[in-house]
């Protein structure tokens, strides 16, 4: 019998067009799922898009045929790899392009600074020049995390003639200086920054690392930007400061629960610019993700035939 392969989380119904699946369709039945309510019990291989569908221990224990999980990206903390290993299920990953998140981060920062969404809406309503934008030159950007993405953001910020400060739990002065940033304390960063941008990996140590005390230290003219992971920020605390308008606003691409519920408070806050986790949703990224997925499956099948 042919193997059964499930391509999950194909929200935009494009997975089939971003790779040549014919080489594995000859030996396997490939099914593309656009919603996360599929019955996965018949499938031998699951291909998941990032963390869109968590692969929990409970789910794994209810998939009797599962032999391989292929995840896009170089890591996926929503897969219970320990349970997978115990059940003899192989977990593989694809490569990842690191340009998408930095590009979106700057899109959001510039949209906030120049009131792009407001001006675009007012233009279509027949109005002209209704707000006054901020200059980035001379402003201070505070980076929470100075890894691969944070370092790219620091480089772009310097091109805009911004002051760059940074903090994370393990950041050293040497590493900060090498990235063109000044190492400061967490409190100093929130007090001084005109834009706070978050670039940390989510872990038990970083979950909720930005809470109400930090948000209340921000200037009333400052903005918070998060394109990393939603749970890094205390969601209820962020909603409070946005509702109270103690900061100028925020821009988010990531959330505690995704897709975001339709009745979530974030959807009605006038000082929030929000997108639906599109940081990695680009043509080149999808080509890499799905092209690698096909290649990983082919290589796995080859090893089984040896």
- What lies within 8 Å, CB to CB, of 147 at 6+ separation is 199, 200, 201
Exactly one of 82, 98, 258, 299 is catalytic; which is it? 258
- Residue 277 annotated in active site: yes
Q: What is the tally of helices (H) and strands (E) in the chain?
A: 11, 12
Exactly one of 50, 51, 199, 229 is catalytic; which is it? 229
* H/E stretch holding 3: strand 3-7
Exactly one of 50, 51, 199, 277 is catalytic; which is it? 277
User: Can you state the percent helix, strand and coil of the chain, rounding each to 5?
Assistant: 35, 15, 45
How many of the other CB atoms lie within 10 Å of CB of 185? 10
The residue among 105, 51, 94 whose CA lies nearest residue 284 is: 94
CA 190 to chain centre: 22
- What lies within 8 Å, CB to CB, of 293 at 6+ separation is 7, 19, 47, 70, 72, 94
**How far apart are the two ends of the chain, measured CA to CA in Å?**
19
- Residue 199 annotated in active site: no
Determine phi and psi for 7, rounding to 5 degrees.
-100, 105
Q: What is the DSSP string of 63-83?
A: -TT--EEEESSS--TTB-HHH
For residue 244, give Cα distances in angstroms to 192, 220, 306.
20, 11, 64
- Residue 229 annotated in active site: yes
Give the pair of three-digit tokens for residue 229: 């992971």
Q: Which residues are catalytic?
A: 229, 258, 277
């Amino acid at each position: 019998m042919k193997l059964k392969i499930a391509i999950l989380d194909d929200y935009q119904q494009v997975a089939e067009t971003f790779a040549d699946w014919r080489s594995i369709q000859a030996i396997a039945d490939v099914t593309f799922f656009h919603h996360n309510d599929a019955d996965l019990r018949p499938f031998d291989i699951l291909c998941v898009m990032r963390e869109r569908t968590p692969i929990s221990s409970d789910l794994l224990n209810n998939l009797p045929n599962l032999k391989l999980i292929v995840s896009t990206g170089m890591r996926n903390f929503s897969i219970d790899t320990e349970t997978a290993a115990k059940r003899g299920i192989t977990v593989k990953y694809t490569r990842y392009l690191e340009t998408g998140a930095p590009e979106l981060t700057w899109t959001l920062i510039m949209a906030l600074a120049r009131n792009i969404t407001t001006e675009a809406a007012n233009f279509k309503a027949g109005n002209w020049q209704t707000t006054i934008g901020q200059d980035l030159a001379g402003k201070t950007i505070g980076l929470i995390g100075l890894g691969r993405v944070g370092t790219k953001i620091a480089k772009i910020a310097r091109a805009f003639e911004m002051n760059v400060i940074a903090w994370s739990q393990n950041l050293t002065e040497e590493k900060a200086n090498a990235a063109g940033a000044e190492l400061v304390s967490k409190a100093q960063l929130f007090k001084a920054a005109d834009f706070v941008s978050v670039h940390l990996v989510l872990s038990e140590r970083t979950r909720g690392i930005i809470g109400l005390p930090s948000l209340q230290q921000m200037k009333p003219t400052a903005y918070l930007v998060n394109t990393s992971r939603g749970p890094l920020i205390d969601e209820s605390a962020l909603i409070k400061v946005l509702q109270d308008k103690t900061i100028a606003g925020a821009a988010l691409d990531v959330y505690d629960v995704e897709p975001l519920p339709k009745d979530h408070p974030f959807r009605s806050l006038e000082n929030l610019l929000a997108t639906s986790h599109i940081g990695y949703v680009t043509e080149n990224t999808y080509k890499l993700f799905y092209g690698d997925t096909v290649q990983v499956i082919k290589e796995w099948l080859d090893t089984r035939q040896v």
